[in-house]
A and B are shown apart, each in its own frame.
Chain A
Amino acid sequence: MEGTKKRYTIAALVDNEAGVLSQVSHLFSRKGYNIETLAVGCTDDPTVSRITIEILTDFDHVLLLCNQLRKLIPVHSVKLLDPSDSIRRELVLIKVSAPNRGTRDEIIQIGNIFRASIIDISPSTLTLSLIGNEVKTEAIENLLADFGILELIRTGIIAIERGENTINEDTKEKGEFNYGKNVL
């Protein structure tokens, strides 16, 4: 089952409870996957969190992982997001060394091109905040590297589908489970 490795985005709705995140992340680590990015936060329903995970793997394995995730009791739904049909964003904070006026101006100009905002300034540093996907954030990171990056923090990718599709929609995966209450 070794195919070509790609970056896949998995979105999951889970119970907003202690231990759920470790259960989810543990699933990835014990299958031998390094999580590229991970972002978690509660949704419009405070009892439900949404986890966005990106991993590097092939298509067969990402399907297996989605099925493993669906087995976890606190997991409500799981969707593999199609990169061409979803919007992916992350927030990056970059603190750059800016000891004089010349460098400060140059950094601000670069920031403007990327629509980054200056969120903090001191006599010797500038801190920028930028939203985008990894193509955009890597580009600005490369340009700012020459000035000396003191700190760089990413929130991890969050992603949402375009158009009417939502994670709650009637997917085939869900349909398979939509069968009578035969538990007892």
Chain B
Amino acid sequence: MKMKGANILIECLLEQGVDTIFGYPGGSILNIYDALYDYKDKIKHILTAHEQGASHAADGYARSTGKVGVCFATSGPGATNLTTGIATAYMDSSPVVFITCNVTGPLMGRDSFQEIDITGVTLPITKCNYLVRDINTLADSVREAFAIARSGRPGPVLIDIQKDVTAAECEYERLPLEQHFTRGRLARLVGRASHNLQSSEPDMRDIDLLVDMLHESRKPLLICGGGVVRSQAQNELRELAEKLDIPVAISLMGAGGFEGRNRLTTGMIGMHGSQASNRACDACDLLLAVGFRFSDRVALDPETFASNAKIVQIDIDRSEINKNVKTHHHIVGDAKKVLSLLCSRVEKSEHEEWKKYVFSFPTETEYDDSTDTLTPKQILSAAARLLPMDTVVTTDVGQHQMWAIQHFHFTYPGQLVTSGGFGTMGFGLGAAIGAQVGNPDKTVLHVTGDGSFRMNCHELCTEQFYKLPIITVIFNNGTLGMVRQWQRLIYSERYSQTTLDRGPDFVALARAYGLGSCRVTNVAELEQALIDAQASGHGYVIDCAINLDEMVRPMVGGGNPITNFMLD
């Protein structure tokens, strides 16, 4: 039947099973918002305070639910405000479809009001993007965008639609999701000899070789990377680790891919990795990295990284193989698939001596809690103790982020939503909104710092309006803590522009937005605040006063061998 472009777009979203959109309207995208008015009962639209908040919310929704997130914005500044969110999703392989509208065809390329070449701008931060100039290609483009966003190594895709296309009419026929690969552009795409919509079948000879390597190894180490989380391969990884009795180090993006309290967990690995993880990495004779890209925050010095080990990499994206660290063996494939093939082939073994060595080092940092001030571990332990086991945690970026990952002990993929690759301060509150909208029955804890929170705290109005009971815990040390830590350790205590001795009063700010709030300075007050927050049933901001000079420990300097600890 004949339909307007705006309606076709929304019908295509319904084909994908989309029921939630995050966004912000504007001139060019008016036709789509007008059509959305007729779909109020089928699609929930969450209006944020700023497009960046919407982009992080769609990302947080995707990461915490495993579904594709959807985000709308208008042309020009609306579109460019998304870019930080798109890059954040891209660096952490999160499936989000961003839909923007552009000016009408005749105005394109004339520096018209609110015109931006957003497909050009987002070229390096999307898996692919589309500029829809012709109504007849609209439905196919949307179908292709979703297929690409969720396939293989997931990632963000942007669709930019000219405003006149949203008003034009053409024939639309509803196509069920399972038939998308039989028609149009997608059929042509999968018809090609090679394409990126499939993950490759692991070569059995490669699997057998790895099985032999695992059996021969006396000091093996597993690294659980973000690929385990995206592939939901937590059960397969646990089975393999337990069967072979191998310690597991967890990368920042891998948190949740392996249970934080499993007896084989060595904790986080990398710049702020635990002693156990980093020393095991240096001493092991076989390093099996699963969905882990050897980023510069872990393979700080690629030359000396796991230099005593044979390195084996399992990754769905073959352009990651040998990119940062040269491997001895690799398997290109989906983590879940490869790990289950391995599980069925390996024999049960034990590595008592090796484990004894690895676990002679601490897997977690201890803090001096004899003083009155709150320590990071106290805050996170209290949260873990008083909030439900399956609480979704979102973080911003900085010291609080490292502390949250070191001390919270995540148990399932999607439980932690954090900006790992891009390190986006201001990500946490938007992500918490997306996570809470996507998981209405779970508690969402937003861990942040005073610097990060200030960046996007205007989204408190979104939290209040949609009655999202997010608990925000601010690690308030009155400084940009991580930068200060570097200034203290590396820049001779020259604290240039990092002291945040200024407003706002976060307790009053939260009240102004209609949310509950309090300031706490010790464990008892914090525990009471967490109880009050849960009982309140609405958003709650807990401002925790912590020591200005509390540092993230351990720490290895950038570019250094992984056991060169600056701080223990």
Residues of A within 8 A of B (CB): 1, 19, 22-23, 26, 30, 60, 63-64, 67-68, 70-74, 76-77, 168, 173-174, 176-184
Contacts and interface: CB of A to CB of B under 8 A. Distances in A.
Nearest to A177: B194
18 contacts: A1-B326, A23-B123, A64-B323, A67-B321, A68-B319, A70-B194, A73-B128, A73-B148, A73-B189, A73-B196, A74-B128, A76-B192, A77-B194, A176-B318, A177-B194, A177-B200, A178-B200, A179-B199
Contact of B200 (A71, A73, A168, A176): A176
Interface in B152-198: 177-178, 180-181, 189-190, 192-198
Contacts of B323: 64
Given A76-B195, A181-B190, 16 more contacts: A1-B322, A19-B119, A67-B319, A68-B319, A71-B319, A72-B128, A73-B127, A73-B196, A77-B193, A174-B194, A176-B200, A177-B198, A180-B201, A181-B198, A183-B197, A184-B180
Nearest to B188: A47
Contacts of B189: 73
A179 B201 contact: yes
* Contact residues on B (Cβ < 8 Å of other chain), bracket: 35 or more
Interface of B: 119-120, 123-124, 127-128, 131, 147-148, 150-151, 177-178, 180-181, 189-190, 192-201, 203, 317-319, 321-323, 326, 332
A60 B322 contact: yes
A182 B317 CA distance: 15
A70 B319 contact: yes
A64 B322 contact: yes
B198 A183 contact: yes
Nearest to A30: B124
B198 A174 contact: no
Contacts of B194: 70, 76-77, 173-174, 177-178
Given A173-B194, A178-B194, A181-B190, A71 B177 contact: no
Nearest to B144: A73
Contacts of A176: 200-201, 203, 318, 332
Contacts of B201: 176, 178-180
A108 B178 CA distance: 67
Given A1-B326, A73-B127, A180 B198 contact: yes
B185 to A, nearest CB: 10
B321 A177 contact: no
Contacts of A70: 194, 196, 318-319
